[in-house]
Structure 1
Amino acid sequence: MSEFITYESKCSDKAGVRYIGRFDFSDARGPKFAWPASTIYAKFYGSSVSTKIRSLGDNYFIIIIDGEVVINSLKLSEGEEKIFLLASELILGEHEVSIIVRTEFYLGTAQFLGFDFDKGKILTPATPLNRRIEIVGDSISCGFGNEAENREIEYSPKYDNSYLSYGSIAARDLEAEYIIVARSGFGLIRSYDGNKLNVLPEIYPRILPDKDDTWQFESFIPQVVVINLGTNDFSSGFIPNREEFTVAYIKLVNKVHKNYKEAKIICAIGPIIDGNALTVTRDYIKNDVVNKLNKDNEINNKWLYFLEFDHQVESDGYGINGHPSLKTHEKMGRSLADFIRKILK
């Protein structure tokens, strides 16, 4: 006899659904999530699947069935709580379903209220992948505006696609699970508009970016962490104080290293920043952070690396406001995957 799984009971139980990313389970109805590329995954037997989601902002999701994108842009507006039919008339048998957040946390938190497999049943999820990656960054890492056809298009979150960001692309290339901890406009010591309160290190430890509850880092231990910060610190021709910037960067690196002792940390720059800002950023991060910390540690236990992405080119197009296009993200993803293969041998 087939098992019917309700939204509020077994479907929301962690034993039947896998959550890849930072999820808050304090609400009995279902977990809340906000960081880009947060993923909800289930394996099931049946021929159809629906989901129920509550949105606390204008959120967009990607739906994947059996490894194929079946819905590229599922939108929920502020305050909506809806049931969505994700797939029907599938061949009766075993299938996989994933819900992935396309957009950023400032657009609003979402709450997963469960899957419904009609006359089918949920199965024990597939074994988690052994490889894990964490991406820490800003709008570039979020995939901001990467689906826009050109830089002049008026911004809308429908053009953001974290699933097609460089970190996501590299992770799939490496068959790795990944999480993205990033926010548009935020920097290491100042935001794009110069606000020193809106900085990524301040919210990095949180489960949900707008709440103080701390993430349990042992819940997701990556082999590689990529930090791609600095573009907003150097925005509009501003050059941060060398000591202030590098001390803050080293503090973040040490925090990551403390949480993930065995992880390789990649300090990346690019592909937007150029000119004098690029020269100075490279100097600060490569010399005062990576080279310095490597000298301070045992040579045979190297865990810190520098990676500079190629600068974006006009022939590859641009996303909104000159952000990387889908083609640029593809190139970055391949470069990152190759670099990770090299350092992990």
Structure 2
Amino acid sequence: MYISSLTLVLSMCSNLVKGSIYQNGQLRITNYPNTKVNRSTYDFQTYDADAAELSYKGRWDSNKVSFWSAAGLVFGFTGDTVAITFGGATIDTTLIGYRISGMDWNFTNVTSGATHMLVTPETLGVDQPDPFNPQRFELRVSNWGYGVQIDKVHVAAGQSLIKIPNFNRTIEFIGDSLSSGMYTSYESMSGFAYGVGAGLGDTEYYITAYPGICVTDQDCWGNPRGQVHQWFYTTDTSWRGTKLWGNNPEPWDFSKQETTPDLVVINLGTNDNNSANNVTTSDFINAYTKLIQGVHGKYPKAQVVVMQLWIGFYQNGNSFSQNLGYEQELQDIVAYFNSPEYLSAPQIWDGTTNTTTTLDSPSESFVHYFSTKGILQHNDIGPQWHPTDVGAIKVAAHLIQYIRLKFGWDMVATGPE
């Protein structure tokens, strides 16, 4: 078929105006289905947000409000209906991803105070349950700055929720916008941290990350506190946390986590390294060291991976070279935690009490270094100085292989995702 150049150009312009996005030749939906329903017209079996059958992933405060990145909710259910009523602290239009069992993600924008029907008899896969396992429902919040509040969970009358056992291994990411997936297509649900957690398969993952934050405890890009302090709290540094908790944020109760991380990956320092934030090298080293001590205090059996920073590329002659920040400093921090000096008298840090304690018993080596050199090329960094979707996938793929080789974690994702 012959298509004139003008027709082709007009077609391309039309697509640009509509904002169409194509992936693998298929149009990606961006006008998500409206799932809001009138709750009074349904006969539901209703559960409160603190029902024992519900498993909250990541950090949710005591009022069941989500914070940080890719916070999730998981539960099993009988029947073919699931609806959720979102509380008043939900930010209107927050985009959530949701799915049953191993099916693909669906997306919808949710509304404060509204009930959204997320599973119906027409939902793909709901009519083909696993005879040995209950249907598994999973929800994830796609954005770090927005959040939802769970008020009620509903299933069809006569049906019930079921507690889903946790996976046997857990990974936590502590980071900034790079771990949050800033500027990727689905933000927190398409960043490299999510790619690792979900890509490994049968793994619990928490992403305690927020854009612009430093590890150093000072203002960075509007974040009033750094991760050396904020990681110990339920809320992130967003305006939502201040609105709900004022100047007395809720400390995170580590004892209430359903699973304790076996592996913690830290990707921090990009914002500290920016001259606009005026962070001294000594303050950075001190804060990063204390954060690792804090992780070791809360998760004494966890292995810690320190990621080498990637800070974009610059033109170098007729090619490009990668900017690296705090390269020697990060390697020195890792070396310190592997030194006889530290291992013989390990110290832990508590960011809520600002105290350092020396443990009575020696520690085995638990801190490792992951080099990002050579993973990304200059066009893997978007115009806004963050990885593209492809760049995020590259980092995730290499980090998964590092974890597999270093810690013996099998890759068990065999179809879902």
Structure 1 residue 271 corresponds to structure 2 residue 310: yes
- Worse-superposed segment, 214-223 or 51-60: 51-60
Does the 8 Å contact 1:44/1:120 carry over to 2? no
**% of aligned pairs identical?**
22
Among residues 138, 143, 146, which one is paired with 1:103 in the alignment?
Answer: 143
Residues in 1 aligned to 2:49 and 2:404: alpha-carbon distance in whole angstroms: 36
Residues in 2 aligned to 1:250 and 1:278: alpha-carbon distance in whole angstroms: 23
Relative to structure 1, the CA distance from residue 325 to residue 129 in structure 2 (aligned partners, 3 Å threshold; closer, same or farther) is same
Counterpart of 1:151 in structure 2 is none
Does the 8 Å contact 1:102/1:162 carry over to 2? yes
Matched position secondary structure for 2:292: helix
Counterpart of 1:250 in structure 2 is 289
Greater RCO (CA < 8 Å, at least 6 residues apart): 1
Residue 195 of structure 2 aligns to which amino acid in structure 1? I
In terms of fraction of residues, the more helix-rich structure is: 1
Structure 1 residue 33 corresponds to structure 2 residue 66: yes
1:207 Cα offset (Å): 1.5
Counterpart of 2:83 in structure 1 is 50
Residues in 1 aligned to 2:388 and 2:169: alpha-carbon distance in whole angstroms: 27
Residues in 2 aligned to 1:131 and 1:181: alpha-carbon distance in whole angstroms: 17
Residues in 1 aligned to 2:76 and 2:180: alpha-carbon distance in whole angstroms: 27
Residues in 1 aligned to 2:128 and 2:286: alpha-carbon distance in whole angstroms: 57
Q: How does 1:309-320 map to 2 (within 5 A)?
A: 309-310=372-373, 312-316=376-380, 318=382
- Worse-superposed segment, 165-174 or 249-258: 165-174
Does the 8 Å contact 1:183/1:200 carry over to 2? no
Matched position secondary structure for 2:139: strand
Relative to structure 1, the CA distance from residue 66 to residue 237 in structure 2 (aligned partners, 3 Å threshold; closer, same or farther) is same
1:254 Cα offset (Å): 0.4
Counterpart of 2:179 in structure 1 is 141
Structure 1 residue 179 corresponds to structure 2 residue 215: no
* Residues 103-157 of structure 1, C-alpha deviations (whole Å, 9 max, x = no match): 11x43x421012222235234222100100111000011111111xxxxxxxxxx
Counterpart of 1:68 in structure 2 is 103
Residues in 2 aligned to 1:128 and 1:248: alpha-carbon distance in whole angstroms: 32
How many matched pairs? Answer: 316
Among residues 309, 331, 336, which one is paired with 1:292 in the alignment?
Answer: 336
Counterpart of 1:203 in structure 2 is 230
Q: How does 1:149-160 map to 2 (within 5 A)?
A: 160=186
Alpha-carbon RMSD: 2.7
Long gaps (5+) in structure 2? 1-42, 315-320, 345-362, 409-417
Among residues 75, 78, 82, which one is paired with 2:114 in the alignment?
Answer: 82
Matched position secondary structure for 1:117: strand
Relative to structure 1, the CA distance from residue 50 to residue 92 in structure 2 (aligned partners, 3 Å threshold; closer, same or farther) is farther
Relative to structure 1, the CA distance from residue 198 to residue 185 in structure 2 (aligned partners, 3 Å threshold; closer, same or farther) is same
Structure 1 residue 283 corresponds to structure 2 residue 328: yes
Residues in 2 aligned to 1:280 and 1:168: alpha-carbon distance in whole angstroms: 23
Does the 8 Å contact 2:310/2:324 carry over to 1? no
Long gaps (5+) in structure 1? 148-159
Among residues 166, 171, 177, which one is paired with 2:192 in the alignment?
Answer: 166
Residues in 2 aligned to 1:279 and 1:270: alpha-carbon distance in whole angstroms: 6
Residues in 2 aligned to 1:23 and 1:256: alpha-carbon distance in whole angstroms: 19
Residues in 2 aligned to 1:213 and 1:253: alpha-carbon distance in whole angstroms: 21
Residues in 2 aligned to 1:214 and 1:192: alpha-carbon distance in whole angstroms: 21
Among residues 250, 272, 290, which one is paired with 1:213 in the alignment?
Answer: 250
Residues in 1 aligned to 2:388 and 2:210: alpha-carbon distance in whole angstroms: 18
TM-score (structure 2 length as normaliser): 0.69
Q: Rg: which structure is higher?
A: 2
Residue 146 of structure 1 aligns to which amino acid in structure 2? T
Relative to structure 1, the CA distance from residue 91 to residue 325 in structure 2 (aligned partners, 3 Å threshold; closer, same or farther) is same
Among residues 14, 17, 23, which one is paired with 2:60 in the alignment?
Answer: 23
Counterpart of 1:152 in structure 2 is none
TM-score (structure 1 length as normaliser): 0.82
